[in-house]
Amino acid sequence: MKTYGKKDASITVSLCLAFTAIAVLLLTLAEGARYDGLKADAEDLTNLAAESLCAGYQPFLFERYRMFFLDAGFGQGKWTMKHAEDELRDFFCENTSDGNRRDGIFLYGMHADAQVDGYLLATDGAGTVFAVQAAKTMKKTIGERAAKEIRNRIKQVQKTEQEAENPGEAIDHARKALEGLEEKTQTEDAGDEANLLGQAEPFHREETENPLETLKQLQQQGILTFVMPPGKTVSSKTISVDNCLMKRKCRSGNLKLKDSAGWYERILMQEFIKPLAGSAVSPEETGVLSYGTEYLICGKDSDVSNLKGTVNRLLLLREAVNYLYLQTDQAKQSESLAIAGAIGGALANPAVVAAIHQGILAAWAYVESISDVKGLLAGGKIPLIKSPDSWHTRLSAFSESLAGEYAGEARGFTYENYLDVLLYGKSLKQIAYRSMDLMEKNMQQEKQYAACRMDYMAAGVRIAAEYDAKPVFLGIFGEDRGIWYHFKEQSEYLYEH
């Protein structure tokens, strides 16, 4: 009879223990790698979610102005981020296992939720956000060297205007001198009439046309009748400015501005908006206003009012530099002095004649500025400082000098160049906000965008996302202990050109 002896099983137990330890180690390493993968996925998904949200930029602003903004009002005209967060949830549903049920085990499945916790609005920084994006749009078109040339031209005009004495004051002084002279003459005439026979006849000033009186009559008429080229009508378009951005209490974003708007960005912003807004020389026929650039300067509710305001500013600018030129033209000085002497009369003292003389020069400078603006609106050029050849009006015939056509000169600054000067004299906030006024009202002409507002347009957002995931490998040999991984991520996306 065969018998079986007992075998020693110590090696088999050791191998089992070793295999178990190795398996636990490998599964732990696998779970560690999965954890790192989940964390990396959470970061990538957050960045991708922010980009995906901002890919839904407002289409009208892009198509017409090539500007990128996310409409935080989502076309409803009221502030809400619910739609944005709904879009984020849809995105995560498409990119995690919660919305992508698959056969087998999805090792990187997570549950995600997100919200928009930061945003940067177009109106933030008193228009700096808008200015910076407008500048970035133009940087490929206008380099820093070209922008410097524009700024230097603006500075040249500003400096020349500052060097000129105030012609308005000269006119006021001349009129006061004439009033005093008139009172004196009336007193002397009354005394002369009291003298009876044996006395000499009283002296009477020779009747001479007074350019100051002619100027007063011209100023009482509508200025546009003098400066508009023949056959050119003024636009009758109007808008409401009751709720414009300068009067509106705008919401503020909570993201920090990363860029600033210096002189370069300021010049580029102006050059960006001018052709899109239109002007009296190049009207924007499809816009809510045809003279949008004039609106940037004046902020009035109609093309007529904005053109009048701009023309009056140009008249004052040109009057100052024309008055400065007349101080150097000896022939025109002599002509003016002769008329001043005739108006003052032989009995007028030299101080009175000098005051009348300067008043006449100032009046002549103003009439010449009317002619200048007329030439500019006709598409011509006007030199900053005149010469005898480019001077257009005659002192003895103001009204006749302004009649008929005048196309300006071959050299000098254009209407657009002078608009640059007026624009640069406004604050960045005024130009940026008024630019957005025009964009908003043009956008609202489209039925589907009738409720859109520029102060709800976001130039960037920050989203905060939270992710939850269960371990996979740690629970294979044990019970589910309710262990979850939890990740928090943030991603900021700003529109760049």
Question: Is the per-residue pLDDT at 412 higher than 80?
Answer: yes
What letter does residue 127 receive in the DSSP assignment? G
pLDDT higher than threshold 70 for residue 479:
no
What is the rounded distance in angstroms from the CA atom of residue 272 to the CA atom of residue 454?
17
- The pTM (predicted TM-score) of the whole model is 0.85
C-alpha separations of 456 from 131, 252, 275, 382 in Å: 16, 9, 25, 42
Query: How many Å apart are CA 49 and CA 492, to the nearest integer?
Result: 10
- Would you state the structure tokens that stand for residue 390, as one six-digit string? 């480019």
For the stretch 182-241, pLDDT in tens is: 766 655 554 544 443 344 444 444 455 688 888 888 888 888 888 998 888 999 999 999
- pLDDT (0 to 100) of residue 98: 47
Q: What is the pLDDT of residue 205?
A: 45
pLDDT at 443 over 50: yes
Q: Which residues contact 15 (CB under 8 A, 6 or more apart)?
A: none
Distances (CA, A) of 196 to 189, 190, 199, 204: 13, 12, 6, 18
Cα–Cα distance for residue pair 398/253, rounded to 1 Å: 56
Question: Which H/E stretch holds residue 72?
Answer: none
Average pLDDT rounded to a whole number, residues 374-383: 94
Alpha helices in 378-446 (DSSP H): 398-402, 415-424, 428-444
Residue 334: phi, psi to the nearest 5? Answer: -65, -40
The predicted-structure confidence for 305-322, as pLDDT tens digits, reads as follows: 999 999 999 999 999 999
- Enter the tokens of residue 129: 């956000």
Structure tokens at 453: 């507002």
Q: Is the pLDDT of residue 438 over 90?
A: yes
Read off the pLDDT band of 102 (50, 70, 90). low
> Can you tell me the distance from the alpha carbon of 345 to that of 200, in angstroms, rounded to the nearest whole number?
18
The confidence score (pLDDT) of residue 32 equals 76
CA distance 449 to 238: 20
Instruction: Considering only residues 469 and 98, tell me which one the structure prediction assigns the higher pLDDT.
Output: 469
Side-chain half-sphere exposure of 346, counting CA atoms within 13 A: 5
The token pair that represents 278 in the structure block: 């239109």
CB 355 within 8 A of CB 362: no
With bands split at pLDDT 50, 70 and 90, how would you rate the model's confidence at 95? confident
The overall average pLDDT reported for the chain is: 85
pLDDT, greater one: 9 or 345 = 345
**What Cα–Cα distance (Å) separates residue 460 from each residue in 10, 424, 494?**
68, 28, 4
Alpha carbon 413 to chain centroid distance?
22
* Res 186: pLDDT: 57
- The values of phi and psi at residue 479, to 5°, are -85, 155
pLDDT for 300 beyond 90: yes
Highest mean pLDDT among 14-28, 223-237, 480-494: 223-237
pLDDT digits (tens, 9 = 90+) for 244-298: 999 999 988 889 888 888 999 999 999 999 999 999 999 999 999 999 999 999 9
Mean of pLDDT values over 20-28: 76
Contacts of 328 (CB under 8 A, 6+ apart): none
Does residue 284 contact residue 276 with C-beta atoms inside 8 Å? yes
Q: What is the pLDDT of residue 423?
A: 96
- State yes or no: pLDDT of 433 exceeds 90: yes
| Residues above pLDDT 70, as percent of the chain | 87
For 420-431, the pLDDT digits (tens) are 999 999 999 999
Quick one: the chain helix, strand, coil %, rounded to 5? Answer: 55, 10, 35
Quote the pLDDT of residue 194. 43
Q: What are phi and psi of 362, to 5 degrees?
A: -65, -40
